[in-house]
Structures are given as C-alpha cells and as structure tokens.
C-alpha cells in the first residue's frame, strides 16, 4: 500500500549505470605541493577500461564519504587514470589520506573536452593558473604526441607562490624542449625565487604566437581566465578560438541534478570547456 | 467540433476502471481529501476522491469550499504535483559494503555483495494516475524530456513512466491562480493520456465524457459500461472547458521571453522581489517541473556499509551553488532570478519548451504571495518600453 | 647611433612617434649593461633615466628589515623600466636589481624632461605612452592583490 505523502526511501539499484561508481584501485600517490596531490589509478581487474578526452572529468567517490568532480590530468593514451586535486573539502581531505591499494569509485568520463585538434596547423597557447594546469596537462600531452601537426606551442603558467608550482620535473623537461615555449610566473615571490613575478596575464602580450592563427586553452580561477581571455583578445586572437574550462557545484555530472547551471548551460555537459565567445557576456554578469 | 469519438460513462464505471487497474497490480493514485487540503494519495474507489470539494486559490492562500453537489473533480491542482511518483523525493541509488579489497556495490535483490556492478531486480513501481490535469500532463511531458532525453537519462523514471497509466481529468473550472490558457497547456488534455474524463454536472444529470488516447485505454473502456456521447453532451463538455479557459484571471505572454529575460539580468524588479522572497523553496517543491536533486552519502557507525541516496533539492538553498568555500549565487536576488529565468527562459534552450505549465502552484504556495506572472509582466513591459523608445530615437536621429 | 634609432623605432613603445621626435629621443639614448645581481637603481635615488630592456630579467624589489628583499614584479626583454623620472620629485620608489646579465637602452630622463618642458607636444606623446604602461601595471598589480589562487576554507 502506498501511504499518503510517501516519504519512504525508494530503492532503485541500477537507476542508471551512469549513477553507479566503478571500482578503481590506487597504484601510486604523489604529493605535489602542501595541499595538492596526484592519484594514479587502475580499474579493478575485469572492469571496463575508461577512455577519455583531455578536459573531461570523473565523479570520484570515496566510500561512504562522498563524491566530487575532478578533472582528468593524465595522458589519454595511457591505461593509467590520473587525477590531481587539492585537499580543500570533506571528500578531498579524506582522499588525501588514501594510499596505494585503496579503492575509489569512478563515474565518467563526463563533459565537453578541449578542442585540441582545432589547433592543428595553428599556434597553440595554453594558459594555466594554479591547479588549472592539471586538466591542461592532458591537452598538452595530446599536442606533444602529434607535435608536428601544430605550429608554435606555448605554455604560460602562473601560481600563487613558487611552492605551489605543480609537476616541477615535467615543467623542467618541457622547458628543455626546443619545440615548446614554457614561461612560469608567480604572484608572490619567495626569497630564493629568481624567476618571473607578476600575474600570468603579464606573460601574454610578449609571447611569440600569431594571433590570427592561434587556438588558446585557458584554465584557472575564473578571474584569471576572464582577464587572460581579454589580454588574448587585445592581441588580436578571435574569441571563437579561445577556450575556458569552468567549474561549478556538481552532484551528478550528467545534467540531471541542476546544480552546475551557468546561465542556460550545464557546466557538466555543455562544458566544462566552453568557447569564450559563447560565454563572454555571462562571465561578466554577477552571480549568474 | 472535434472529430474524436467521445463516450459517456457514469460514476460506477470509474469505480470499475479503478478496480480493473488494481487487479492488474497498478497502484491507483489521485486527489484525496486530507485535512484542509486536497493531496495525492492511493485511491481504492471513487469514494476516496474529494467528493463535493472545490478549492479557492489566490496568492499565498488555499482554502477548501464544499459544494452542494457530489462532484469528483471540481477542484483544481493540489499542493503536491504528480512528479513525486516518477521522480521520488528520496531514492536510494545504491548500497555498498566494505570488503578486504575496498568496497562492492550490493545487489538489492538478495543482499549479497557481488563483485561486479549489479543488475538488480526491477524496483520501479506501477502507477495509474487518476485525475491528472492537462497542465500536469504537460509537466510530465517536460520531465520526459529532462529525465528521458539526452545522453544520460534517469533509469528509474524511464521504467516507471513506460508503465504508468494516465487517466486525465479535464478542468471544468479554473483554479484561482492558474494560467494554462496563456501557456497553451490546457484546460483540455490534448495528448499523453490513456483516457481523459470531463465531468458534467447539470441540474438533472451527473455523467462523464471519455476520450480514449491509446489502444490500452480503448481496451479498458471496452471493459466497462459506456456509450457514444450525444451531440448535446459533447457540447456541454466543450462549454465547460471554454468557461474554465475564460475564468483564468492571469496570463503570461511568452513572446520573446528568452531574449527579454536574458537581457534583463540587472532589472531593478529583481531587487524588489528579492526583498519579499524568503528563499523558502516552497515554489520549487510545489512546482511540477522542478527537477533539481542532490545526493547524500551515508555510512554506518562501523564504517562497513554505505548508501547513496538522491533527494529533491532547491536552487533557493544557500549552498546549492557552493564551490571553493563560497557560493556562486549568495544573494536572494541571484537565486530568485536564477529560478525564474531558468523556468521561463533557459529551459527552452535546454529542453525545447518552457519549464512553466501555468498550474499556479508557486503563486498559491508562496508564503508571501509572489506571482511570477506579475514579476515577469513588470520586466517585460519595461523592456518593451525601452525598446520602443530607443527605436523611436533612432528614427528621429535618422539612423537605420 | 643609427642602430639605436632603428631599435627604438621598431619597439612598440615608440610606435607612431614622428621622425623628428624619434631622432630627438635617440639623441638621449645609450646602450647599457648590468651584471647579474647588480642594482640598476635603488629606492630613494634620483630618477634620471628610464630603460628599455633588451635582454635579461630585472626584479622590482622593496626591502623590509624583517623579511629581506621582496620582489613585487619582474620585467624582461621588451619591457619599459622606470617612470619616476617623469614625476616630481623624481626619485625611485623601488630597488631594481638585475637577476641575470641584463642589457638595455638607457634614456636620459633629465634631458628629455627639459625637452618636454620646451615642447609640450613631445611631452604629450611620451606621457600618453607612459600612461598606457602604468595602466597595464596597475591592472596586473590589482590582480596580484586579489590573490586569485587563494581558497576560502
């Protein structure tokens, strides 16, 4: 009998394969900075292999604690699933204590990816702020794996302080390449820092790329992305060729819970990667 | 005059219909009197319907009034909408158990943890919705697009929806706050039903006109006493629905609504309504198309078994848009603006139709009586005035 | 001298400066070089030049007794260093230190100040360009203050 105002919990296992997490095992944990860490995961034997495109994200589940969206930060050609995240909330703080052999639930991949192939035959300018380098690293991997297909490739990376710089060893390797231009800057120097000091947008106006033939991918705090996109435009880059990756609260990752709405767009499916020209006007509206 | 065949049945036939559906293991749900309001509950016969009751709805006010006749469907929309049946307020998504390896999802069917993702026994129920109004049928169609369309759907919704019986009731009087006529969602049910009933009460008679919408609806009707309706009877039904349409005291002009709302993000009216809005979320609870949800993960004290549950949520809550230590929409203005803009405009871009079906529930159940048709009217009128003024100016200036 | 004129003419800062003014400016220019870790100017000193950096990296620093030298911004190839020569009382407000071997073109601020007083059009041309630089620096400094990578917890 269905009672009035039936508030009993309905049970619906297999409510949708998309809401059930798949088990993944941690193969390696790497501490990147004080509050940022990288997990390398592999699906439990017999499980489905996840294929993704750079810029997509997974909903990552910690048993009994909760689930959060995290961008994939590894190589899409590899069988290892890589996630880099900051320990800032309940779920990520528990995640930061996990070790090799521990299990996480993965749902995904979700979202609109970086348009890496649009950069073919053009200069590619990647602008990362803080942890924004994580989802952009996947895009850079794809570009480097087909290096000849692209023109000049530039990476501009800004962080708060030198101790917040991610992927240091890789940055050094990239810097050493002749076919890649890498510039790093910090907002606030520490005493022994001899590199650039200043916000990442200051690196744009003197960067060697052809504004008429450039595809740019930007990820970082929203303020930084807005100002970086404007600087690119000042240099003559078409807003249709500039892409940003946005972040909003997500509970489902599949466009059903409503939380991630940004104007009429669902960041989880219309984004997280958006063409700048599409969202330009929304970005400057407060609390939209 | 419609070319569809209408039939006439009497009240006992409706009891038989309820009975036949129950025999087929359908749970028949519909309006029922509960205290001082009409709510949705399980029905065993027509006696469970709110016989002789109608409702008086105005902004922030809902009262029941007794009529001197034994009508079945003289009321309009209840505080609750039918969305709770296919989109339950609380739904368990999965259970999981800790294992030596990590954790496993639990197969609800036999309670034993399986190593693979389980395909559980079909948990979605069988419902028959009796007395659903045209506006709410449109709301169901809206949810069909939300939960059924797109790359990811809601499996529970889809399974329940396929089976759901729809016995609609056409409105023969307008509710105090509804505006389906201007939203083109009623009062007559035009699609999506197995059977549609129109209650006709005159001095001498009390009968029901029936329209069939599906083969199974036709079959069901074959199983009860019925006869083709006479011209005069059809005319009477038509007249009642026309009356209902003309009784509506409010309307919403949807022409260019997207453009108008998208370009009015900084309209002062938002601040005015924000000063009244309590962000209580009643509107989102009562609204038949609101679909926002959240998930909660719970774990037992021993840390061995966990559950994830999906619950209704409202964009009016403070942490709905919480990210990185703060919310993207903190002010009341931003949250109200988001809800209204989504409902009337963004929805069209997202799902191809308006999110509003003109049922009026949000107006009735808002504790401070905010009327979305009024709020939008102010914004629309000033937008059009400004547009007219600037084009006039251009003509005077000689610019094209 | 001719080489200097060409370099100045091609630099975005002097873009669209008329030929006579360009020559005038070139007349006040000279090549300079600063070894790694040397000071280009120090806080409080008289500001009589500005520099067009051609190679290397310069840190604008302020020294706090308890914290040592704090770098607030770095400038490199292509950047213009110094505008205090334009604004009374013509003193440097920060230290400028070469983080690596730095080559620049130094422009004689005292000489240019005199010429700007005589010819206000020249003054306007230079001030226009410096206003643009100041606007850019102010904008980026404001973003630095915002501390956009910080997370409220």
Give the 3-state DSSP-derived string for chain B, with helices as H, strands as E and coil as C.
Answer: CCCCCEEEECHHHHHHHHHHHHHCCCEEEEEEEECCEEEEEECCCHHHCCCCEEEEEECCEEEEEECCCCCCCCCCCCCCCCHHHHCCCEEEEEEEEECCCCEEEECCCCCCECCCCCCCCCCCCCEEEEEECHHHHHHHHHHHHHHHCCCCCCHHHHHHHHHCEEEEECCCCCCCCCCHHHHCCCCCCCCCCCEEEEEEECCCCEEEEEEECCHHHHHHHHCCCCEECCHHHHHHHHHHHHHHHHHCCCCCCCCCHHHHHHCCCCCCHHHHHHCCCCCCCHHHHHCCCCCCEEEEEEECCCCCEEEEEEEECCCCCCCCCEECCEECCCCHHHHHHHHHHHHHHHHHHHHCCCCCCCCCHHHHHCCCCCCHHHHHHHHHHHHHHHHHHHHHHHHHHCCC
- What is the per-residue pLDDT across A207-218, written as a single tens digit (0 to 9) for each? 999 999 999 999
Task: Quickly count: other Cβ atoms within 10 Å of residue B83's Cβ.
Answer: 23
C146: which residues sit within 8 A by CB, 6+ positions away? A223
**Cross-chain residue pair A130–C99, CB shorter than 8 Å:** no
Instruction: Answer for the pair B245, B187: CB distance below 8 angstroms, yes or no.
Output: yes
Q: Which residues of C touch B319 (CB under 8 A)?
A: none
Is residue C43 in a domain? Answer: yes
What CA–CA distance (Å, rounded) separates A83 from A39? 5
pLDDT tens digits, one per residue of A246-272: 999 999 999 999 999 999 999 999 999
Q: What is the pLDDT of residue B148?
A: 87
Strand partners, C131: none
Whole-number pLDDT of residue B117: 30
Which residues of chain B have a pLDDT value below 70?
Answer: 1-3, 107-124, 392-400
Q: CB B350 to CB A264 under 8 A?
A: yes
3-class SS of residue A182: strand
Query: Domains of chain A, with CATH numbers?
Result: 17-110 (2.40.30.10), 116-245 (3.40.50.80)
- Over residues C25-84, the pLDDT tens digits come to 999 999 999 999 999 999 999 999 999 999 999 999 999 888 889 999 999 999 999 999
Structure letter (DSSP) for residue C68 = E
Which residue do the tokens 């020209």 mark?
A277
Number of domains in chain C: 1
- pLDDT value for B325: 76
Instruction: Using an 8 Å CB-CB cutoff, list residues of chain C that contact chain A.
Output: 57, 59, 68-74, 76-79, 99-100, 136, 139-140, 143-144, 146-151, 153
Predicted confidence at residue A7, as pLDDT, reads: 46
The verdict on residue C52 lying in a domain is yes
What is the number of residues in chain A?
288
Cross-chain residue pair A15–B91, CB shorter than 8 Å: yes
For residue C149, the distance in angstroms to the closest alpha carbon of chain B comes to: 11
Structural domain includes residue C152: no
Q: Which chains touch A (3 or more CB pairs under 8 A)?
A: B, C
User: Between chains, do C148 and A224 touch, taking CB under 8 Å as contact?
Assistant: yes
* From C57, C69, C148, residue closest to A221, measured CB to CB: C148
Give the separation between CA C22 and CA B305, rounded to whole angstroms: 79
Residue A16 is nearest to which of B120, B154, B323, comparing CB atoms?
B154
Residue A33 has pLDDT above 60, yes or no: yes
Total beta-carbon pairs less than 8 A apart between chain A and chain C: 66
What are B113's strand-pairing partners? B106
Structure confidence at residue B154 (pLDDT):
86
Our CA angle for A145, A151, A153, nearest 5°, is 65
Residue A4 clears pLDDT 60, i.e. is over it: no
Q: B68 in contact with C at a CB cutoff of 8 Å?
A: no
Domain holding C17: CATH number? Answer: 2.60.120.10
Tell if the CB–CB gap between C140 and A194 is shorter than 8 Å: no
Yes or no, beta carbons of A46 and B153 under 8 Å apart: no
pTM of the full structure:
0.92
In total, the C-beta contacts within 8 angstroms joining chain B to chain C are: 6
At residue A17 the predicted structure's pLDDT band, cuts being 50, 70 and 90, is low
Cβ–Cβ below 8 Å for A164 and C149: yes
C110 within a domain of the structure (yes/no) = yes
Contact A199 C147 (CB under 8 A): no
DSSP letter at A75? -
- CA of A219: which chain C residue's CA is closest? C149
Do the Cβ atoms of B32 and B43 come closer than 8 Å? yes
Residue A21 in tokens: 């997490």
Best residue in B323, B325, B327 to probe C by mutation, most C CBs within 10 Å?
B325
Q: What is the pLDDT of residues C143-153, one digit of tens each?
A: 999 999 976 54
Dist CA A190 CA C122 (whole Å): 41
**Residue C69 in domain:** yes
- Considering only CB atoms, which residues of chain C are within 8 Å of chain B? 151-153
| pLDDT (0 to 100) of residue B93 | 87
Query: Which residues of chain A does B294 touch, with a Cβ-Cβ cutoff of 8 Å?
Result: 251, 257, 259
> What's the Cα-to-Cα distance from A219 to each of A71, A126, A226, B198, C111, rounded to whole Å?
11, 8, 10, 58, 46
Q: Which helix (H) or strand (E) holds A14?
A: none
User: What does the alpha-carbon distance between residue B72 and residue B169 come to, in Å, rounded to a whole number?
Assistant: 10
Residue C50's domain comprises 2-146
C46 DSSP 8-state letter? B
A284 contacts A263 by C-beta, under 8 angstroms: no
pLDDT (average), residues A113-118: 97
Q: Is residue C151 assigned to a domain?
A: no
Whether residue C153 is contained in a domain is answered as no
């Amino acid at each position: 009998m269905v009672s009035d105002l039936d508030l009993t919990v309905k049970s619906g296992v297999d409510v949708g394969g998309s809401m059930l997490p798949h088990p993944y095992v941690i193969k390696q944990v790497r501490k990147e900075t004080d509050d940022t860490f990288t997990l390398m995961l592999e699906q439990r034997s017999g499980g489905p292999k996840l294929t993704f495109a750079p810029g997509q994200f997974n909903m990552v589940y910690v048993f009994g604690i909760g689930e959060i969206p995290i961008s994939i930060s590894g190589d899409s050609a590899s069988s290892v699933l890589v996630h880099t995240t900051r320990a800032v909330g309940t779920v990520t703080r528990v995640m930061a204590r996990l070790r090799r052999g521990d299990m996480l639930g993965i749902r995904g991949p979700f979202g609109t990816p970086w348009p890496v192939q649009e950069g073919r035959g053009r200069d590619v300018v990647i602008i990362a702020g803080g942890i924004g380098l994580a989802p952009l690293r996947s895009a850079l991997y794809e570009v480097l794996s087909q290096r000849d297909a692209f023109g000049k490739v530039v990476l501009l990376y800004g962080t708060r302080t030198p101790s917040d710089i991610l992927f240091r060893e890789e940055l050094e390797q990239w810097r050493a390449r002749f076919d890649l231009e890498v510039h790093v800057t910090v907002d606030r120097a520490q005493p022994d820092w001899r590199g650039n000091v200043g916000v990442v947008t200051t690196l744009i106006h003197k960067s060697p790329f052809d504004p008429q033939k450039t595809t740019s991918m930007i990820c970082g705090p929203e303020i930084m992305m807005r100002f970086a996109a404007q600087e690119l435009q000042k240099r003559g880059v078409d807003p249709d060729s500039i892409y940003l990756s946005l972040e909003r609260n997500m509970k489902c990752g599949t466009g059903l819970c409503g939380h991630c709405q940004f104007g009429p767009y669902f960041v989880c499916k219309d984004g997280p990667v958006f063409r700048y020209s599409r969202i330009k006007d929304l970005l400057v509206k407060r609390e939209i | 005059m419609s070319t569809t065949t209408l039939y006439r049945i009497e009240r006992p036939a409706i009891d038989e219909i309820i009975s036949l559906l129950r025999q087929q293991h359908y749970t028949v749900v519909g309006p029922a009197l509960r205290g001082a309001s009409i709510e949705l509950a399980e029905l065993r016969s027509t006696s469970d319907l709110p016989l002789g009751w109608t409702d008086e709805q105005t902004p922030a006010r809902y009262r029941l009034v007794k009529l001197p006749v034994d009508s079945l469907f003289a009321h309009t929309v209840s505080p609750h909408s039918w969305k709770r049946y296919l989109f339950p307020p609380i739904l368990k998504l999965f259970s999981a158990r800790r294992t030596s390896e990590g954790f496993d999802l639990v197969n609800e069917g036999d309670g034993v943890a399986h190593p693979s993702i389980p395909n559980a026994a079909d948990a979605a129920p069988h419902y028959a919705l009796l007395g659903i109004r045209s506006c709410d049928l449109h709301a169901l169609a809206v949810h069909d697009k939300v939960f059924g369309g797109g790359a990811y759907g809601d499996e529970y919704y889809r399974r329940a929806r396929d089976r759901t019986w729809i016995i609609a009731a056409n409105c023969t009087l307008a509710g105090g706050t509804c505006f389906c006529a201007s939203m083109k969602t009623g009062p007559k049910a035009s699609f999506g039903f197995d059977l549609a009933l129109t209650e006709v009460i005159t001095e001498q008679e009390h009968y029901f006109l029936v329209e069939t919408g599906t083969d199974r609806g036709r079959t069901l009707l074959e199983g009860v006493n019925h006869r083709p309706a006479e011209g005069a009877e059809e005319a009477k039904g038509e007249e009642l629905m026309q009356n209902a349409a003309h009784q509506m005291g409010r309307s919403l002009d949807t022409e260019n609504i997207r453009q108008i709302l998208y370009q009015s993000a900084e309209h002062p009216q938002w601040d005015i309504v924000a000063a009244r809005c309590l962000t209580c979320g009643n509107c989102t609870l009562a609204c038949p198309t609101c679909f926002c949800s959240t998930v909660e993960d719970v774990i037992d004290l021993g840390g061995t078994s966990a559950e994830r549950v999906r619950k209704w949520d409202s964009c009016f809550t403070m942490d709905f848009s919480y990210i990185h230590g703060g919310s993207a929409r903190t002010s009341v203005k931003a949250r109200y603006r988001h809800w209204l803009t989504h409902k009337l405009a963004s929805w069209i871009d997202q799902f191809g139709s308006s999110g509003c079906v003109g049922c009026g529930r949000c107006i009735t159940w808002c504790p401070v009586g905010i009327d979305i048709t009024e709020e939008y009217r102010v914004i629309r009128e000033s937008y059009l005035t400004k547009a007219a003024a600037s084009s006039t100016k251009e003509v005077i200036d000689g610019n094209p | 001298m001719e080489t200097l004129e060409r370099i100045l003419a091609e630099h975005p800062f002097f873009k669209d400066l008329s030929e006579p003014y360009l020559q005038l400016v070139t007349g006040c220019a000279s090549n300079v070089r600063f070894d790694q870790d040397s000071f280009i100017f120090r806080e409080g000193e008289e500001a009589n030049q500005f520099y067009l950096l051609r190679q290397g990296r310069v840190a604008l620093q302020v020294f706090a007794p308890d914290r040592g030298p704090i770098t607030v911004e770095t400038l490199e190839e292509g950047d213009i260093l110094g505008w205090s020569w334009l604004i009374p009382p013509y003193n440097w407000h920060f230290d400028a230190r070469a983080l690596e071997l730095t080559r620049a073109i130094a422009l004689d601020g005292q000489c240019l100040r005199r010429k700007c007083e005589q010819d206000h059009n020249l003054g306007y041309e230079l001030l226009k360009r410096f206003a643009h630089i100041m606007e850019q620096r102010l904008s980026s400094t404001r973003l630095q203050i915002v501390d956009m990578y910080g997370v409220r917890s």
